[in-house]
Amino acid sequence: MKDARIIAAIPTKAETCVLKNNGIFEKFSHEKILKSCLMAGAPLWAAEKIASHAARTAYDGVTTKEIKIWVHDSLKQVKPKIAKKYLKNNQLRVRTSRDTIESFDKSKIEKTLIVETDADPVIADKIATEVWKEVKKLDVEYLTAPMLREIVNTKLVEHGLETLRRRYTRLGIPVYNITNLIENGSRDNANMIHNPETVHKYVADEALKQYALLHILPNELADAHMSGDLHIHDLEYFAGRPINCLQHDLRSFIKNGLKVDGTGDHTSVAGPPNHIETLMNHAGEIMLAAQQNMSGGQSMSLWNVFMAPFAQGLPYEEVKQAVQMFIYNLNMAYAARGSQVPFTSISMEFTVPEFLKEEPAYGPKGRLVGTYDDFEEETRILQRAFTEVLLDGDSDGKPHLFPNTIYTLRKEVLKDEFAEDLKLVHELSSKYGTAYFVNMLPDYRGQMANYMGCRTSLGDNWTGNWDKDCLRTGNLAYITLNLPRMAYQSRDEEELFEYLDSYLRLSEEILMIRRQQSVACLDDYNMLPFLTQELDGERYYRVENSTMTFGFVGLNEMLRAHCGTGMEDPDSLKLGLKVIDYMNRRAQELKKETGLRWTIIQTPAESTAHRFAMIDREKYGSAAVTQGDLDAYYYTNSSHLPVDTSLSLAEKIRIEEQFHSRTSGGHIFHAFMGESHSDPEALMSLTNKIARKSNIGFWAYSSALSFCMKCKTLMKGLQDTCASCGEQKEVEWYDRITGYVQQVGRSKSASGGWNAGKMKELHDRRRY
């Protein structure tokens, strides 16, 4: 009681305020000084005396640093050891990753080294002691957790403990990079606008990319990506959502209803739909829900066939209104990764395919309502309504950018009976250039060919079962090879194929690790509940049927570097085909070795073609064979001819068609159309020729568009000035970036944005 009365009686200056390190003033506290002295081991009498002296000496505006010096000097007179402990407790403070400020504690470094890296306790103690010796020399008020980690990592490297260093490395993003993202955004993905969600996504992406490179992938595989030998797509999703593209089966949700979280535990559960509007809404919600579990594009094939029983007996305008709701919902749902609309594709049939005619059809309330042959008329009505809604554009007259709408051409469709429907689709191609065509006539086709996202593809060539091979599965992942670099490193053709083989081996390892991570996320971590929900007695996502795929960029530049000529030369083209055939043989070997589904894809390379070319220009200088110039170098996508080729459209088709049968994992043919409006009937004639006389499997007639944001005028071509109102700053450009139409991001008010390489390619494109 006596001690308490003495402390309470000590006079203090009520008006004295202390300036803290963070610039904030607080009232002087005698108790804080007393407590800090006692914690350092000072006897009570000494602590009281020192605290009282500080209270009498302090003045208004005194700093915490000055007070610490007074207390330290006073404790040295009592006992140097106590003063040293006080200094340790008060001079070195750490801002932790838990958002707290704590005293430096060497033992915490020892503990984290043991727990996080499995370090031997003796080594952990040695490293922590050396770190303590270093930080004692620093004249700083506080340390941060990242600073301490870097010091620890430096010591680990000095002792040759690289394995421990990799495990201990902190993941993060520099302050400058975050500032730049907030102020300027990013152009890595043209489908994303600049807003708070995209900033959050890019910051999280950077940490997760580092996590994959440092923790999941072995050094040599991470180095292959970072050096530009190959490109690991969606690296930011490698750990948590490693599954790329998905082909949905709408019938599963017609029969079973919808749980958007996959379990029904956290969201409302819907039963089987009873009306077409409900099914349209469910179809959109399926895409949104699955987007939370996936990294790539989603598609629904046979959409209008499976939807047809719900249109039976309804007036055409009611069907069209329901379709309009679906399309607008997909384009207005800014809820996908980083504030994007879901990356979606819808494959449309002009008629019920022969193989589906006797398949059981499911209608309202999930009931069996006959076979799909009974709904031929409704299938055609839905296709027509979908196309008309797309032709109308949005309220301002802009094109609906999603879903990617894919029209399937079968032998029975190329008849006069379907001429009116085909003409309507080609009016869409002429106006906006957004339609895609799937050619089912070539010999390499089966009954089904599904395309997802930019071009990733599935066909019924795995087990021969169109359902299991094409629905409820998709592309698991793909790795892109830098083909031109192989040519720069090779002295002859033998070495070229040796490099190709080594790059493929590296890609195989990465894809197998990615598959292991996918299975872990599906089976062990319970991270992908939408994909793992049980429908029709089995897990919804059929991972066993998913594809693992080799992609490639710059075949034309490889040939120019190795042969002196590009794909337009017959001898060079033979080598190009030989390269892709070699990749296919390796894929076939892997199918036998692993029992898994391996394919080859023409990589979309929205950013990869630019990245590879820029890295190679820096590494090889003028010896690198690139397109573009200065900061906008790029390689030609996959096995395409250069976009500025002087070859005719027919010659371009003749060369590029040879690669479509060799790239079952995905491909596309681009016909970049001129600034004038194409005649729909002329386009129809061209479509007929491509379908009947070529092996082109998937193509689009791409049109450059300009749209005045001020007066809402749509124009053909890349226009600098609005033809209607004369506006310049508010004119926005649109074109197909790789496999989808998107804003170019030309004007200052633009919300989209292409990277420098794609911008240069855009200007280089030759229009037909």
pLDDT digits (tens, 9 = 90+) for 466-489: 999 999 999 999 999 999 999 999
Q: Is residue 599 part of a domain?
A: yes
Q: Is residue 182 part of a domain?
A: no
Range of the domain at 86: 2-91
Q: Is there a single domain that holds both residue 580 and residue 646?
A: yes
Q: How far apart, in whole angstroms, are the C-alpha atoms of residue 376 and residue 382?
A: 10
Q: Is there a single domain that holds both residue 500 and residue 619?
A: yes
The CATH number covering residue 268 comes to: 3.20.70.20
Q: How far apart, in whole angstroms, are the C-alpha atoms of residue 350 and residue 371?
A: 17
Work out the angle between the directed axes of helices 2-9 and 44-57 (0-180°, nearest 10): 10
The mean predicted confidence, pLDDT, of the chain is: 90
DSSP-based three-state secondary structure for 448? coil
On whether the CB atoms of residues 281 and 325 are closer than 8 A, the answer is yes
Q: Is residue 82 part of a domain?
A: yes
Question: What integer is the mean pLDDT of 632-650?
Answer: 96
∠ CA 193-719-673, rounded to 5°: 90
Question: What integer is the mean pLDDT of 162-184?
Answer: 80
- Picking from 421, 410, 414, the residue whose alpha carbon sits closest to that of residue 357 is 410
Q: Is there a single domain that holds both residue 494 and residue 537?
A: yes
Q: Is residue 644 part of a domain?
A: yes
Q: Is there a single domain that holds both residue 119 and residue 266?
A: no
Q: How far apart, in whole angstroms, are the C-alpha atoms of residue 732 and residue 728?
A: 9
Q: Is residue 705 part of a domain?
A: no
Q: Is there a single domain that holds both residue 117 and residue 86?
A: no
Q: How would DSSP label each residue in 564-587?
A: SS-TTSHHHHHHHHHHHHHHHHHH
Question: What integer is the mean pLDDT of 640-656?
Answer: 97
- Picking from 66, 56, 62, 163, the residue whose alpha carbon sits closest to that of residue 117 is 163
Q: Is residue 678 part of a domain?
A: no
pTM of the model: 0.83
DSSP-based three-state secondary structure for 485? helix
Beta strands in 509-568, from DSSP E residues, in sequence order: 534-535, 538-539, 547-553
Residue finishing a domain among 91, 119, 146? 91
DSSP-based three-state secondary structure for 616? helix
Confidence of residue 324 (pLDDT cuts 50, 70, 90): very high
Q: Is there a single domain that holds both residue 127 and residue 222?
A: no
Give 198 or 574, the one with higher predicted confidence: 574
- Phi, psi values for residue 363, rounded to 5°: -125, -155
Residue finishing a domain among 432, 459, 486? 459
Q: How would DSSP label each residue in 260-311?
A: TTSSSSSS-EE-S--SHHHHHHHHHHHHHHHHTT-SS-EEETTHHHHHGGGG
Bridge partners (DSSP) listed for residue 597: 547
- Picking from 730, 734, 710, the residue whose alpha carbon sits closest to that of residue 720 is 730
- Picking from 423, 628, 596, the residue whose alpha carbon sits closest to that of residue 514 is 596
Percent of the chain whose pLDDT exceeds 90: 72
Confidence of residue 426 (pLDDT cuts 50, 70, 90): very high
Question: Strands 142-144, 17-19: parallel, antiparallel or unpaired by DSSP?
Answer: unpaired
Q: Is there a single domain that holds both residue 555 and residue 658?
A: yes
Q: Is there a single domain that holds both residue 343 and residue 261?
A: yes
DSSP 241: -
Q: Is residue 637 part of a domain?
A: yes
Residue 176 has pLDDT above 80, yes or no: no
What was the pLDDT predicted at 3? Answer: 41
Question: What integer is the mean pLDDT of 521-531?
Answer: 95
Percent of the chain whose pLDDT exceeds 70: 93
Burial classification of residue 257, based on how many CB atoms lie within 10 Å of its CB (0-12 exposed, 13-18 middle, 19 or more buried): middle
What was the pLDDT predicted at 191? Answer: 55
Residue 181 has pLDDT above 50, yes or no: yes
Q: Is there a single domain that holds both residue 400 and residue 504?
A: no
Confidence of residue 675 (pLDDT cuts 50, 70, 90): confident
Residue finishing a domain among 459, 484, 508? 459
Q: Which two three-digit tokens encode residue 245?
A: 């593209």
Q: How far apart, in whole angstroms, are the C-alpha atoms of residue 689 and residue 708?
A: 36
Residue 17 has pLDDT above 70, yes or no: yes
Q: Is there a single domain that holds both residue 488 and residue 396?
A: no
Residue with tokens 């450009």: 733
Question: Strands 456-459, 449-452: parallel, antiparallel or unpaired by DSSP?
Answer: antiparallel
Confidence of residue 177 (pLDDT cuts 50, 70, 90): confident
Q: How many domains does the chain contain in total?
A: 4
Q: Is there a single domain that holds both residue 29 and residue 131?
A: no
Confidence of residue 751 (pLDDT cuts 50, 70, 90): very low
Confidence of residue 1 (pLDDT cuts 50, 70, 90): very low
Bond preceding residue 403 cis, omega within 30 of 0: yes
Q: Is residue 727 part of a domain?
A: no
Q: Is there a single domain that holds both residue 423 and residue 507?
A: no
